[in-house]
């Protein structure tokens, strides 16, 4: 059957230039006996919404959350163009087909393919908060659960101690607090195993 792996790529990485893009390409390239599901963050696209909300705090938080989810379509579309060797998954049906699809394949997953206000396939215990505490860190964990992934790789552009726990990473501000809450809430289920991967390093080493 092979393994399913979810890789979270920060949206800011798209702005890192050609050398960083090549590092991303090596990371999400074909892997023996694996399917790679990539979730790309929003980077500055989402940060602009944070700025607006800080200027106008009366804006509805839940509405802002779902507005940001829709904005993630932009970085997903850019990633699909930059990485034509990976297949873009637009909706839930395409994602379901890919879960048990061909091995040695990489996919770029549109966030709205699995996460939306009317997503009945998301159990309550896996549901992220609809506010700024949730970023694509927590959403990548949700994707990993939904595709039965054995591992979640969260990429970083700086070295990360291999022994760093999720809660320590939350405390250090390296990942969002919702990832920590969801992992703690679902602690009886050990999968996916979460690894921090330096973007210019080879995760198979």
8 A C-beta contact, residue 106 and residue 30: yes
Both tokens assigned to 112: 């709205």
Helix, strand, coil fractions of the chain, as percent rounded to 5: 45, 15, 40
CB atoms near residue 35 (< 10 Å): 24
Q: What is the mean pLDDT of residues 136-147?
A: 95
Report the pLDDT averaged over residues 160-166: 77
34's torsion region: left (phi>0), alpha (psi -120 to 50) or beta? Answer: beta
Measured CA to CA, the distance from residue 155 to residue 130 in angstroms comes to 23
Per-residue model confidence (pLDDT) at position 120: 78
In the predicted structure, residue 142 carries a pLDDT above the cut 80: yes
Q: CB of 10 within 8 A of CB of 135? A: no
Q: What is the pLDDT of residues 69-98, one digit of tens each?
A: 999 999 999 999 988 989 999 999 999 999
What pLDDT shows up at residue 198?
Answer: 81
The sheet with strand 3-9 has its strands ordered as 87-89, 105-109, 34-40, 3-9, 151-156, 193-198
pLDDT on residue 162: 65
CA distance linking residue 196 with residue 203, whole number of Å:
9
Q: Where are the domains of the chain?
A: 3-198
Q: Is the pLDDT of residue 30 over 70?
A: no
Domain 3-198 carries which CATH code?
A: 3.40.1160.10
**pLDDT over 70, % of the chain:** 94
Q: How far apart are CA 81 and CA 98, in angstroms?
A: 20
At residue 195, does pLDDT exceed 50?
Answer: yes
DSSP 14-83: GGS-HHHHHHHHHHHS--TTEEEEEEE--THHHHHHHHHHHH-TTS-HHHHHHHHHHHHHHHHHHHHHH-
Greater pLDDT, 61 or 32: 61
| pLDDT tens-digit map of 97-128 | 999 999 899 999 999 999 999 877 888 899 99
Mean pLDDT for the chain overall: 87
**pLDDT higher than threshold 80 for residue 28:** no
Q: Which two tokens stand for residue 132?
A: 């700024």
């Amino acid at each position: 059957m092979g393994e399913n792996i979810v890789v979270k790529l920060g949206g800011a990485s798209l702005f890192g230039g050609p050398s960083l893009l090549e590092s991303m390409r090596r990371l999400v390239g074909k892997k023996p006996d694996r399917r790679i599901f990539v979730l790309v963050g929003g980077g500055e696209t989402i940060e602009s919404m944070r700025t607006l909300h800080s200027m106008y705090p009366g804006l509805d938080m839940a509405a802002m959350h779902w507005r940001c989810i829709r904005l993630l379509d932009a970085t997903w579309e850019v990633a699909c163009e930059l990485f034509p060797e990976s297949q873009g998954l637009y909706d839930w049906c395409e994602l379901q087909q890919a879960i048990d699809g061909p091995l040695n394949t990489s996919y770029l997953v549109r966030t709205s393919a699995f996460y939306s206000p009317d997503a009945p396939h998301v159990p309550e215990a896996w549901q992220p908060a609809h506010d700024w505490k949730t970023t694509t860190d927590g959403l990548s964990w949700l994707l990993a659960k939904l595709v039965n992934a054995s591992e979640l790789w969260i990429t970083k552009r700086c070295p990360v101690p291999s022994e760093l726990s999720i809660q320590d990473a939350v405390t250090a501000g390296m990942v969002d607090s919702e990832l920590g809450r969801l992992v703690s809430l679902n602690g009886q289920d050990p999968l996916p195993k979460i690894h921090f991967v330096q973007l210019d390093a080879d995760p198979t080493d």
